[in-house]
Amino acid sequence: MSTILAIDTSTEACSVALLYRNEITHDFKISARDHTKQILPMIDSILKQSDCSLSQVDAIAFGQGPGSFTGVRIGIGIAQGLALGIDKPMIGVSTLLTLAQGAYRTKQATDVITAIDARMSEVYLGQYHYENNQWQAVIPECVIAPERVIEKVNNINKNGYCAGTGWQTYPDMINGIRQSDILLPHAQDLIIIARNKWQKNDVIDVEEVEPTYLRNEVTWKKLPGR
């Protein structure tokens, strides 16, 4: 039975979840500017609440982006530090896919278009379909102008929903699409995807972790080899 700790700070939300003894415990806070102050106490609290020590964790899952450049860096840096400390692998999960999982949790949505406000008059966009207990990317995640979303998106069936802050910022990207009420990624959804990845041994060594920024001008420096 796997034990996974999940962390997401890729947006203005600060979110933690723990899968332990087949139960998920989670915490979620809006914390736009003090992720570094919030995230470690949240991790400590959730471990104590579940009577689980960090050394019992099999893998550290993290929000890989896209999202806030600073937020993505903070989350990955903390996840890397924890994984190094216990010598365990990591599991990267797309922020956009995490939003889709949230729409599935709350609305049983099996077709979801996710969009996060990317600033600079653009959104981070993804489209996903859920079938046979797994998500398939209909549109690979990309950064795009809101007015181009309608031409990019494939047909949405009757169970189609949208999720993410992009729809709040640009409500007219697609007319008539149903709202899922999921605006920000939750670690309780991220950990479901991470568990499926863990079962397939889809893990990453600490030194090989890379964020998803989608904008070419942003760079990331990997950890040096141990």
Q: What is the per-residue pLDDT across 4-59, written as a single tens digit (0 to 9) for each?
A: 999 999 999 999 999 999 999 999 999 877 888 899 999 999 999 999 999 999 99
- Do 4-94+185-208 and 95-179 fold alike per CATH? yes
Question: Looking at residues 166-193, what average pLDDT do you find?
Answer: 94
From the list 41, 61, 54, 4, the residue with the least C-alpha distance to 185 is 61
Q: What is the average pLDDT value for the chain, to the nearest integer?
A: 92
- For residue 224, pLDDT over 70 is answered with no
Domain range summary for the chain, segments of one domain joined by +: 4-94+185-208, 95-179
Inter-residue contact 187 to 28 (CB < 8 Å)? yes
226 pLDDT exceeds 60?
Answer: no
Kindly indicate whether the domain formed by 4-94+185-208 is annotated with CATH number 3.30.70.860: no
Q: Beta strands 178-179 and 160-163: pairing type?
A: parallel
Q: Given this model, what pLDDT does residue 76 score? A: 96
pLDDT over threshold 80, residue 223: no
Query: Is the per-residue pLDDT at 219 higher than 50?
Result: no
Helix (H) or strand (E) holding 206: none
What CATH number was assigned to the domain covering residues 95-179?
Answer: 3.30.420.40
Range with lowest mean pLDDT among 101-115, 168-182, 193-207: 168-182
Non-local (6+) Cβ contacts of 82 within 8 A are: 5, 7, 43, 54, 57, 60
Alpha carbon 36 to chain centroid distance?
A: 17
pLDDT value, residue 28: 96
Average pLDDT value for residue range 133-159: 89
Phi/psi class of residue 164: alpha, beta or left (left: φ > 0; alpha: ψ in -120 to 50)? left
Would you place residue 222 in the very low, low, confident or very high pLDDT band (cuts 50, 70, 90)? low
Taking the C-alpha atoms of residue 158 and residue 166, their distance in angstroms, rounded to an integer, is 21
pLDDT value of residue 33: 76
Average pLDDT of span 147-160: 83
The pLDDT value recorded for residue 117 is: 95
The whole-number pLDDT of residue 155 equals 75
Is the model's pLDDT at 171 over the cut of 50?
yes
Give the pLDDT score at 83: 98
Which residue in 182, 5, 55, 47 sits closest to 106, CA to CA?
A: 182
pLDDT mean over 59-73: 96
Predicted confidence (pLDDT) per residue in 101-130, tens digit: 999 999 999 999 999 999 999 999 999 999
Please calculate the CA angle 87-93-97 and round it to the nearest 5 degrees. Answer: 165
Strands (E) across 120-196 are located at 123-131, 134-144, 160-163, 178-179
